Structure 1
């Protein structure tokens, strides 16, 4: 009886291993020239991007994936500055949000202001969103002009170039792999989100 049990456990382990194995070119792509010193899980997005809006605000894929990451693995988000008339200002504002640790507060407001109400048209409108979310005007202005924010802007721009970013939303793992969004299971939103998380965990384990 014990022998049969161990055989069954062995079969289950094989199926488990197969279930967590993914194929290059189908669920992910390997980058020709791996980027150096990038966060382990890095997402690029734009507040102007309708797909990013759905990804973040409708289906909450980023937050669901973030919760499923292994302990100690952080998900970092960078803004792409070449989309939209105030794309560069939004990237700098995102650097302010990163510096102040208020990404989750301002992200929904910025998305809504650009995708739904379309009442964000100038850098001053962006500033008003931060104030609306509880950030003091003086704190925002100080951060906006700080050396740290300028450094974060450059870091986002350099990462986009190093990873040869072609579009958003895009998620990169260890600077070596990119998730192929259209290669995931789209039979349901849960299946898509779960496989997204599984592919990330699989790629994090690759050497």
Structure 2
């Protein structure tokens, strides 16, 4: 656990700040070109991204953010296609998960299969992860090339382009603000996660 935390902290500039203070340019960045119509809270990730694995599976940042969000606030996760040999296929698979409402069922086993056991080498392997997680094969197959899934793929690609996404993990609020991990307090895992979640809540409520 300590090694994993140090690995994540290595990409973050240590910064000592009060969890109660949120400053533009530190814990978050105001986008030069806000993008209208984006989800209230939008997270980008890739199953190929080691830091995304730590973010989700070790630090549970997404879960902590959800707990802090005001009632009625929607949090959306999009997969990016620019990492890994099956990046485009995994983005389409994530669209299938979204269409079928099985994101929570798929996230952990897909991360494990892609990064830990490395058993995802083909599109058939991706399908197997879904089936093993309890998704019926015929439902997966029907969704794969459906209009809904194609639309969700396009939606993910457009959001990444419009927000000029540079890397993952990344989180945006109201298409106006991007969380800035370099400005978070990394003195401990708990403090980092707490401040990250508190910053998202602050930005959601920011007028």
Asked if TM exceeds 0.5, the reply is: yes
Quote the Cα distance in structure 2 between the aligned partners of 1:186 and 1:19.
11
Query: CA offsets per residue over residues 132-169 of structure 1, 9 Å max, x none?
Result: 01111110000111100000000000000000000000
Quote the Cα distance in structure 1 between the aligned partners of 2:131 and 2:26.
43
Gaps of 5+ in 2: 1-17
What is the CA RMSD across the aligned residues, in angstroms?
A: 1.1
- Aligned equivalent of 1:130: 130
User: What SS does structure 2 have at the residue aligned with 1:111?
Assistant: helix
- Aligned equivalent of 1:67: 67
- Aligned equivalent of 1:77: 77
Query: CA offsets per residue over residues 27-80 of structure 1, 9 Å max, x none?
Result: 111111111110000000000000000000111111111112111111100000
- Aligned equivalent of 1:145: 145
- Aligned equivalent of 1:26: 26
Confirm or deny: 8 A CA contact 1:106 1:133 kept in the other structure. Answer: yes
- Aligned equivalent of 1:54: 54
TM-score (norm 2): 0.89
Confirm or deny: 8 A CA contact 1:96 1:149 kept in the other structure. Answer: yes
- Flag the structure with more relative contact order, 1 or 2, with Cα contacts below 8 A and sequence separation at least 6: 2
Quote the Cα distance in structure 1 between the aligned partners of 2:19 and 2:133.
43
Q: 1:186: how far off? A: 1.0
Bigger radius of gyration among the two: 1
Quote the Cα distance in structure 1 between the aligned partners of 2:20 and 2:203.
10
TM-score (norm 1): 0.89
Q: 1:206: how far off? A: 2.1
- Aligned equivalent of 2:90: 90
Query: CA offsets per residue over residues 75-128 of structure 1, 9 Å max, x none?
Result: 100000111000000000000000111111111111001110111011110000
- Residue 189 of structure 1 pairs with residue 189 of structure 2: yes
User: What SS does structure 1 have at the residue aligned with 2:117?
Assistant: coil
Quote the Cα distance in structure 2 between the aligned partners of 1:146 and 1:200.
33
- Aligned equivalent of 1:157: 157
Q: 1:21: how far off? A: 3.7
Which has the higher mean CA deviation after the structures are superposed, 90-99 or 185-194?
Answer: 185-194
Confirm or deny: 8 A CA contact 1:96 1:143 kept in the other structure. Answer: yes
Structure 1 residue ranges, 4+ long, deviating more than 3 angstroms after superposition: 18-21
Aligned CA distance change for structure 1 residues 205 and 21 (closer, same or farther; 3 Å): farther
Quote the Cα distance in structure 2 between the aligned partners of 1:122 and 1:114.
11
Q: 1:19: how far off? A: 5.9
